[in-house]
Amino acid sequence: MKRTIEIEDTLDNRVECAIDEVKSELENYLKENPDTDSLPCINNDLDYSGAIHSIVDSSVPIYTHEIKSTWYLHGSELEEAYENAGVGDNPMENDGMSAIYFYIMDKVQEWYNNEAEEVFEKWMESKK
């Protein structure tokens, strides 16, 4: 017997939502700190209150089916993110949620390193 199943791939959407929230966090930080003259550090400035970690943490799926589906579709990338984080040798720790967290955090950091400067420059222009 042959069965066909559909798996909803939510990882890219979760990454995009996390990036959008981090972008909003950056914009809020700039509004609250109008004397800022350089791009704030995502780790020291934006995450001082734990906001960035909270954003990424809330982007990790909590339902077993979605976690397993994400692992089925993106297992090698999740393993790589976990290994790069250097936190252990079991990417299935915490049912694989830790690896998903590190994957999303990597994508957020990548966006920040490549795109946040543009957000900052637009903000600087708007102050003139």
pLDDT at 101 over 90: yes
User: Can you give the three-state secondary structure of 36-85, one letter per residue?
Assistant: CCCCCCHHHHHCCCCHHHHHHHHHCCCCHHHHHHHHHHHHHHHHHHHHHH
34/112 Cα distance (integer angstroms): 20
What is the average pLDDT score of the chain?
Answer: 94
Domain ranges of the chain: 21-29+43-127
Residue with tokens 């637009």: 122
pLDDT in tens, 4-60: 989 999 999 999 999 999 999 999 999 999 999 999 999 999 999 899 999 999 999
**pLDDT the model gives residue 109:** 97
